[in-house]
Amino acid sequence: MESPFTHNSIATGSDFLSRKKDVSQLVSIIADGRHAVIYEPPRTGKRSLINAALSRYEQNPGYRITHISLLSTIDTEDFSSILEDICSMPASPRPVIYMEEFQNILRLEERDRLIRTLEKEWQRQDGPVFIVSGSKINAMKYIFEEKKHFYRLYERVSLSPIDENLISEHIIKTFLRVGRVVEPSQTEYIYSLTDGHPWYIWQIANSCFNLTKGYLTDSLLEEAIDSLLYTHTPRFQDITDGLSRYQVYLLRAIFDGVTKVSSTAAINNYRLNSSANVHRLKEALTKKEVVVFDAQDIPHIIDPMFRVWLDRFYFKTGKTYKRQNI
CB 109 within 8 A of CB 142: no
Q: Among the three residues 156, 185, 205, which one is the final residue of a domain in this structure? A: 156
Domains held by the chain: number: 2
Q: Among the three residues 156, 190, 208, which one is the final residue of a domain in this structure? A: 156
Reported confidence tier of residue 326, pLDDT bands at 50, 70, 90: very low
pLDDT > 70 in the chain, percent: 93
Return d(Cα 207, Cα 223) in angstroms, integer: 9
Give the pLDDT of residue 17. Answer: 66
Give the pLDDT of residue 276. Answer: 98
DSSP codes of every residue in 1-49: ----S--SS---GGGS---HHHHHHHHHHHHTT--EEEE--TTSSHHHH
Residue 294 domain flag: yes
Check pLDDT > 70 for residue 6.
no
Give residue 257's region: left, alpha or beta (phi > 0; psi -120 to 50): left
Give the pLDDT of residue 4. Answer: 80
At what angle are helices 164-176 and 184-194 packed, to 10 degrees? 130
Check pLDDT > 80 for residue 322.
no
Question: Both 151 and 243 in a single domain?
Answer: no
The 10s digit of each residue's pLDDT in 82-98 is 999 999 999 999 999 99
> In which domain, by residue range, is 308 found?
238-314
Question: Both 269 and 150 in a single domain?
Answer: no
Residue 301 domain flag: yes
Question: Both 23 and 148 in a single domain?
Answer: yes
Whether a cis peptide bond, with omega within 30° of 0, leads into 161 is: no
Residue 185 domain flag: no
pLDDT > 90 in the chain, percent: 90
Q: What is the DSSP letter of 107?
A: G
Question: Both 38 and 129 in a single domain?
Answer: yes
User: Burial of 107 by CB count in 10 Å (0-12 exposed, 13-18 middle, 19+ buried)?
Assistant: middle
CB 162 within 8 A of CB 17: yes
Mean pLDDT of all residues belonging to the chain:
93
pTM: 0.92
β-pairing, 63-69 vs 94-100, is parallel
Average pLDDT over residues 233-249: 98
Residue 8 domain flag: no
Residue 10 domain flag: no
Q: Among the three residues 156, 187, 209, which one is the final residue of a domain in this structure? A: 156
Question: Both 23 and 146 in a single domain?
Answer: yes
Residue 92 domain flag: yes
Least confident stretch, 12-26, 122-136, 306-320: 12-26
Residue 165 domain flag: no
Question: Both 44 and 141 in a single domain?
Answer: yes
Least confident stretch, 12-16, 287-291, 317-321: 12-16
The 10s digit of each residue's pLDDT in 111-145 is 999 999 999 999 998 899 999 999 999 999 999 99
Residue 224 domain flag: no
Reported confidence tier of residue 318, pLDDT bands at 50, 70, 90: confident
- CATH number of the domain that residue 285 is part of: 1.10.10
